[in-house]
Amino acid sequence: MNNILITGSKGQLGSELNELARFYSDFIFYFTDYNELDITSHTLVQDYIRTNNISVIINCAAYTAVDKAEDQKELSDKLNHLAVENLAKVAKMANAKLIHISTDYVFDGLTHTPYTENDPTNPQGVYGNTKLAGEEAIHEINPSNSIIIRTSWVYSSFGTNFVKTMLRLANDRDELGVIADQLGSPTYARDLASTILKIIPKLSNENVEIYHFSNIGACSWYDFAKAIFDIKNIDIKINALETWEYPTAAKRPFYSVLNKKKIRNQFQIEIPYWRDSLKECLQKL
C-alpha cells in the first residue's frame, strides 16, 4: 500500500489527482494545501510524513504567477526553491519517493527543436530561475526513486488557465488579440495526473531523473485559442499578435516545445494529441 502526499492540492494538477484518486484503491491519498501543511517547515513536513507513513510525495505546490514573481522574488524563491529543498531532504530521510513538477521556463526559448532533458537551461525571469533552483536542490540532495517532471502550458477544468480565460473573454467581446509568435505544447493537467499515478510503482532510480511531459504536438497561443473556439463553435474574431504588441513584466520563451521521448519509452505510456485532450476538457466545462 502506498500512502501518497499531494501538496498544492487545490491547484489544477492537484485537483485532477483528487478526481482520479477514486480509481486507485491500492493508494491512500493525503491531499494538502498551505492551510493543512506548511511545506517550508522541516519539522511540520517531517512529522506529517512520519505520522501518516507517507511513501510518495507528489509536489504540485508552486508560485506560478509568472509576472508577479518579478516583484515577489522572495516569495517565489520560498515556494519554488526552499520548499522543494525541504521536501527533498525529508523524502531522503524517510526513504520516500518524490515527484516534483517543474516547468519549460527553465529554458530560454531560443531554440527551434523540442527541448530534451539534457539541453542546457537558461531561465529568463524570476519564476524560471526559482524553479531551476528547486530542481538543482533536488539533484544535490538526491533522494532515491525520485523524479522531476517538466511541463508546459497547463490547463484544466479546475482553476484559472488560458482555456477558461478565453471562454470568459468570449462572453464579453466580439474580437480578441492573441500571441501568435510563441510556440509550445499545451498540457491537459488530467493527462499529466494520470501519467504520474501510472508511473509511481515503476519508479526505481538511484539518482534523480528529469522527464518532460506535455501533450503531443505543438501550436501557438493563437492556434490554441482558435482550437478552443472552433471546438466550442464560438463565433469570434481573433487577431494574431506579436509578442512586442502585448508587453508583460516577465519574458516568455518564444519556443518551449518539450521532447517527450524519454518518459514515453521509460514507462511505456501513450500521450494524447493536444487537440484531442482539449476537446475532452471542453466537454467537461
Active-site positions? 127
Distance CA 5, CA 27 (A): 10
| Helix axes 274-284 and 221-231, enclosed angle (nearest 10) | 50
Distance CA(234)–CA(229), nearest Å, equals: 5
State how far the Cα of 272 lies from the Cα of 186, in Å rounded to an integer.
11
Is residue 227 a contact partner of residue 154, using CB atoms and an 8 Å limit? no
Complete DSSP assignment for 111-149: -SSPBPTTSPP---SHHHHHHHHHHHHHHHH--TT-EEE
| SS3 state at 95 | coil
| 151, 157, 160, 162 alpha-carbon torsion, rounded to 10° | 70
Q: For residue 30, give every residue at least 6 positions away whose Cβ sits within 8 Å of its Cβ, in sequence order, or none.
A: 3, 4, 5, 6, 48, 52, 54
**Angstrom distance (rounded) from CA 83 to CA 90:** 11
